[in-house]
């Protein structure tokens, strides 16, 4: 296989994403290095458990580590504990610098301390308070943009994207397009491109 030169995974789960990832960090980073990726992000679900191991392993293999997390964002207030387990959307956050890393640690910690309800959750109020130095990606089908698009709520999807863009700041929020052969992704991708 020919090495890639200008590609870096920015949404990637390891075995620290409980029930959602099986990739050992050493294997992920080694493969990225073999493929010539200059950088790699680790964005486990709701936690930073693998951040130190990932950082050290990436440096060992000459790959720039990008610390991130796919956080759960409560649709209402993070402290609200009603409505069952499906009361949040996903959002990928990447630390762009040391300030971003500290804010990411703060958000993930507060997700456990203040927002835990089935999962560690933050909300948009908390994100707004700790957004400096962070870059956001709209995430998977559970992200607020794709989630609304799949339900034929284009205006709500636009509003969600606008709100996240406003909170994170100019040039720090990006829409994700994913293609895993899932029918709903085709619908979400079409809406995102629109």
- C-alpha atoms less than 13 angstroms from C-alpha of 153 in its C-beta half-sphere: 11
Model pTM score: 0.95
The answer on pLDDT for 2 being more than 70 is: no
pLDDT value of position 4: 54
pLDDT tens-digit profile of 59-91? 999 999 999 999 999 999 999 998 888 889 999
Question: How many CB atoms neighbour CB 43 within 10 A?
Answer: 25
Instruction: Determine the Cα–Cα distance for residues 121 and 54; give it in Å rounded to an integer.
Output: 23
Q: Has residue 29 got a pLDDT over 70?
A: yes
pLDDT for residue 82: 85
pLDDT surpassing 90 at residue 121: yes
């Amino acid at each position: 296989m020919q090495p890639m030169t200008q590609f870096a995974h920015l949404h990637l789960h390891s075995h620290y994403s409980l029930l959602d990832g099986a990739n050992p960090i050493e294997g992920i980073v080694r493969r990225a290095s073999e493929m010539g990726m200059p950088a790699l992000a680790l964005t486990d679900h709701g936690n930073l458990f693998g951040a130190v191991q990932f950082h050290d392993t990436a440096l060992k293999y000459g790959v720039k580590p990008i610390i991130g997390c796919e956080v759960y964002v409560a649709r209402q207030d993070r402290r609200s504990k009603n409505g069952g387990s499906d009361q949040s959307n996903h959002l990928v956050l990447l630390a762009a610098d040391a300030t971003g890393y500290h804010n990411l640690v703060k958000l993930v910690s507060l997700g456990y301390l203040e927002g835990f309800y089935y999962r560690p959750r933050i909300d948009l109020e908390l994100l707004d308070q700790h957004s400096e130095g962070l870059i956001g990606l709209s995430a998977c089908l559970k992200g607020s943009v794709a989630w609304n698009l799949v339900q034929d709520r284009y205006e709500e999807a636009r509003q969600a994207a606008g709100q996240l863009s406003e909170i994170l700041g100019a040039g720090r929020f990006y829409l994700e397009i994913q293609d895993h052969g899932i029918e709903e992704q085709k619908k979400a991708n079409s809406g995102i491109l629109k």
